[in-house]
Structure 1
Amino acid sequence: MTIKKTFITEELDRLKREGLYTNIPVIAGPQGAWVEIEGKKYLSCCSNNYLGFCNDPALIEAVKKYVDKWGVGPGAVRTIAGTLDLHLELEKKLAEFKGTEAAMVVQSGFCANLAAIPPLVSKGDLIFSDELNHASIIDGCRLSRAEIVRFKHADPENLDAQLAKYDNVNCHKLVISDGVFSMDGDIAPLPALVEVAEKHGAMIMVDDAHGEGVLGRGGRGIVDHFNLHGRVDVEVGTLSKAFGVVGGFVAGDAELVDYIRQKARPNLFSSAMTVPDIGANLAALEELSRSEDRVKRLWENGRYLKKGLKDMGFNIGHSETPITPVIIGEATEAKKFSARLFEEGVFAGAITFPTVPMGTARIRVMVSAAHTKEDLNFALQKFQLVGEEMKIISSSR
């Protein structure tokens, strides 16, 4: 290796030495309550397959139907020759589902933030961003070149104070928050954030990646959960978590979505969503619009698992959703805990810095509507076994 590339080896060595190197597991077969890894079956407790759609028969059949009629790929970016009538159908139904005038679909939730933020603010403007916002929000903010002002996590009073400092600055101002924070499972105080943004004349945007399919009527998200329709300027969402597929979208009033469609670089310079993705997402939307059963089952499973882990003495933080962080502390200990669970048949990966702050490494336990009570009891049994073995919880409980 040339001298100029030695930093790569040194950095990889450091990551391994400090327990921050990620060995990526490879799943053979479909994503579900149980998955196959290296020829063995494991209970999956760490995917974002919240509603069990990843391997749902209705979605699979829909994909086959749409592929037979439309093929597999769009063949171009949306603005040249890649917009199929299917894209418009999905956008219409997403807007209806979210209760907005319009929606624009893009390739992923990450791309949705890159699509939404830079057209709304630029150099000389201001972004007020929750300090725990997702990496895709952070990257979208950086790409905009606007000045970024961070406010304390889920703290409307601090946001108010930060905005007040710039009341006399004449520029575009955008407040951004995740709806559900993916590592701690807490819900943004959106009603208060909206009031503060309105008070100071700022636009407000929410990234509802972990609220879609989880909060609101039939999983319509945080805006529906708090009945704030018409008061949130921009809703960004993903189709790769609760929907079980892949893709992202930006939703809002018709003029705003039309404006972003004209300006968003992921829409202008990257090929459109594929036919199988659109077909599967349409089928998931149809199911969510028809029944709330999956959402209710997800919450029931989340409450059951939370109670079991808390009763054992685990630190599960302050989650308000089915996302359940089991906070271990040091990265090396969290990785050891995850490895022992894996040996016992439970697939639950360790989350470490930089995804979470130093000293708060954890196992992010994620249940699904596809899990049975027997599955959850198996998980609880193994968490107790490993927790007592590593002296994280007391064996006297």
Structure 2
Amino acid sequence: MGLLDRFKAQRELHAQVKSCGADPFGVKMEKILSATEALIEGRPTILCGSNNYLGFTFDADCIEAAKETLDTCGTGTTGSRIANGSYHDHKALEQDLADFYGMKHCMVFTTGYQANLGAISTLAGPNDFLIIDADSHASIYDACKLGSATVIRFKHNDPADLDRRLGRLANEPGNKIVVVEGIYSMLGDHAPLKEFVAVTKKHGAYILVDEAHSMGVMGKTGQGVVEHDGVLDQVDFITGTFSKSMGAIGGFLVSNIEDFDILRVACRPYMFTASLPPATVASVRKSLAKLRANPGLMQKLWDNVDTLYEGARAAGFTVGAQKGPVVAVHINDPALAARAWRALLLNGVYVNLALPPATPSGTALLRCSVSAAHTKEQLQSVVDVLSGVGRELGILPTPAHAVAAE
């Protein structure tokens, strides 16, 4: 048996997807033109799959902060946080984030994936229980594999099922840690955090909320669903990323728990990874400061969400049940979804193709993400192209007047 023979099924599925005429998982951005446009296959293309929710990737102040720090601190730290990888701005960013969330403590990681991997695998010990939402992100599942706790899944966004499963653990020794996300990255639905927190506290458990897709998106000041649902002071841990609303890369963990700093020498993904480049830290500090100074940035995002979400729904597409910056367009057949993705790209619109088994319930999706940097004209163009492709491929019915004209 060959070393990679076990991936035969994935290879065959990938080949089927590529039969649409391109590899949806290997698209090359030949030139980035702005926060919302790029050259792909030589064509100017609207980027509607970038997660650049506030458009900070091309913010002039963020770029300038990165440039200045590049000149003074160089291209990288070449070391982990516990060796030679903690610079002044790493500590300053941790203080900024702690202040933003009103928490006492913060750790900054090199990626959002590592924040979940490190926090979850370290917090839950061999005699503990992790109770996770069935639709959790891969980083959460991988954290469960890395750790030694017993893992229990509950039905997606179902407080009653969480209550039942915690109830069965009532007489079991060990800590119970519930892990949920604020906004789920595929379908874009929001967790009912108020109900989850109530159930968690009823059973004396801890709760960790991953706000990767909701930081800078929800809540009066952009703290996420924890703020939107009024439970910020009741959650035990929040993780998040800088690769969405903050326009860069990195991750964090904030908490009020006592003895927090012991995690710095217990968390392997924190200890054994080189720290964030100082220029990236500087850009994130600037983007966070801009969000805090002007939370009204989120209103432009939500106005744009309305344009794409309502436009796609009015055209006849099935979209996610809850409105948000992730607009999931449901296409029942994976092969048809791949053809639709390719047709969109050929018409100057880039979205993400999301297929089983990465998607919940085996659903094939055209996963669109909205940015505050999009113009109304760009998003209307996306709706128009999406509608045209939908009719061309038979996903949407042809309007009666168009049939009559033929």
TM tier, smaller = over 0.9
Q: How far apart, in 1, do the equivalents of 2:198 and 2:111 lie?
A: 29
Cα-to-partner distance string for 1:90-141 (whole Å, 9 max, x where unaligned): 0000111122112110011100011111221122211110000101011111
Cα-to-partner distance string for 1:290-330 (whole Å, 9 max, x where unaligned): 10232111111001111111111100021231211100012
- Whether the 8 Å contact between 1:245 and 1:277 is mirrored in structure 2 is yes
The corresponding residue for 1:126 is: 129
Out of 295, 315, 320, the residue aligned to residue 318 of structure 2 is 315
The corresponding residue for 1:205 is: 208
TM-score, normalised by the number of residues in structure 1: 0.95
The corresponding residue for 1:187 is: 190
How far residue 272 of structure 1 moved from its aligned partner, in angstroms, is 0.9
Please state if 1:51 is matched with 2:54. Answer: yes
CA RMSD of aligned residues (A): 1.7
Please state if 1:75 is matched with 2:69. Answer: no
Letter in 1 for 2:252: F
- Whether the 8 Å contact between 1:294 and 1:369 is mirrored in structure 2 is yes
Cα-to-partner distance string for 1:262-299 (whole Å, 9 max, x where unaligned): 31112211111111110110110111011023211111
Gaps of 5+ in 1: none
How far residue 11 of structure 1 moved from its aligned partner, in angstroms, is 4.3
Please state if 1:351 is matched with 2:350. Answer: no
The corresponding residue for 1:277 is: 280
Q: How far apart, in 2, do the equivalents of 1:71 and 1:255 lie?
A: 35
The corresponding residue for 1:325 is: 328
Alignment of 1:75-94 (within 5 A): 75-94=78-97
Letter in 2 for 1:141: C
How far residue 254 of structure 1 moved from its aligned partner, in angstroms, is 5.7
Please state if 1:216 is matched with 2:219. Answer: yes
Q: How far apart, in 2, do the equivalents of 1:130 and 1:353 lie?
A: 18
Cα-to-partner distance string for 1:13-56 (whole Å, 9 max, x where unaligned): 41234438754111133362111113221011111111111121
- Whether the 8 Å contact between 2:127 and 2:173 is mirrored in structure 1 is no
- Whether the 8 Å contact between 2:106 and 2:252 is mirrored in structure 1 is yes
Letter in 2 for 1:310: R
Letter in 2 for 1:226: D
The corresponding residue for 2:165 is: 162
Secondary structure at the aligned position of 1:353 is classed as coil
Cα-to-partner distance string for 1:56-76 (whole Å, 9 max, x where unaligned): 111110111112222221231
Work out the number of aligned pairs and report it.
395
Please state if 1:371 is matched with 2:369. Answer: no
How far residue 5 of structure 1 moved from its aligned partner, in angstroms, is 4.0
**CA 1:95–1:254 in structure 2 vs 1: closer, same or farther (change >3 Å)?**
same
Q: How far apart, in 2, do the equivalents of 1:86 and 1:17 lie?
A: 45
Out of 302, 306, 315, the residue aligned to residue 305 of structure 2 is 302
Q: How far apart, in 1, do the equivalents of 2:89 and 2:7 lie?
A: 46
**CA 1:358–1:216 in structure 2 vs 1: closer, same or farther (change >3 Å)?**
closer
TM-score, normalised by the number of residues in structure 2: 0.93
How far residue 218 of structure 1 moved from its aligned partner, in angstroms, is 3.1
How far residue 144 of structure 1 moved from its aligned partner, in angstroms, is 1.2
Alignment of 1:83-122 (within 5 A): 83-122=86-125
The corresponding residue for 1:25 is: 27
**CA 1:294–1:6 in structure 2 vs 1: closer, same or farther (change >3 Å)?**
closer
How far residue 225 of structure 1 moved from its aligned partner, in angstroms, is 1.6
Taking only the aligned residue pairs, the percentage that are identical comes to 35
**CA 1:13–1:120 in structure 2 vs 1: closer, same or farther (change >3 Å)?**
closer
How far residue 10 of structure 1 moved from its aligned partner, in angstroms, is 3.8
**CA 1:270–1:16 in structure 2 vs 1: closer, same or farther (change >3 Å)?**
closer
Q: How far apart, in 2, do the equivalents of 1:383 and 1:246 lie?
A: 30
How far residue 189 of structure 1 moved from its aligned partner, in angstroms, is 0.6
Secondary structure at the aligned position of 2:359 is classed as coil
Q: How far apart, in 2, do the equivalents of 1:168 and 1:86 lie?
A: 45
- Whether the 8 Å contact between 1:128 and 1:175 is mirrored in structure 2 is yes
How far residue 358 of structure 1 moved from its aligned partner, in angstroms, is 5.8
Q: How far apart, in 1, do the equivalents of 2:6 and 2:129 lie?
A: 36
Of residues 20-29 and 168-177 in structure 1, the stretch that sits farther from structure 2 once superposed is 20-29
- Whether the 8 Å contact between 1:98 and 1:224 is mirrored in structure 2 is no
The corresponding residue for 2:363 is: 360
Q: How far apart, in 2, do the equivalents of 1:140 and 1:60 lie?
A: 33
**CA 1:161–1:120 in structure 2 vs 1: closer, same or farther (change >3 Å)?**
same
The corresponding residue for 2:68 is: 65
Cα-to-partner distance string for 1:316-369 (whole Å, 9 max, x where unaligned): 021231211100012111110000111111111311012104641010111111
The corresponding residue for 1:15 is: 13
Alignment of 1:130-145 (within 5 A): 130-145=133-148
Secondary structure at the aligned position of 1:295 is classed as helix
- Whether the 8 Å contact between 2:24 and 2:353 is mirrored in structure 1 is no
Q: How far apart, in 1, do the equivalents of 2:4 and 2:306 lie?
A: 49
**CA 1:333–1:137 in structure 2 vs 1: closer, same or farther (change >3 Å)?**
same
Letter in 1 for 2:72: K
Secondary structure at the aligned position of 2:234 is classed as coil
Secondary structure at the aligned position of 2:318 is classed as coil
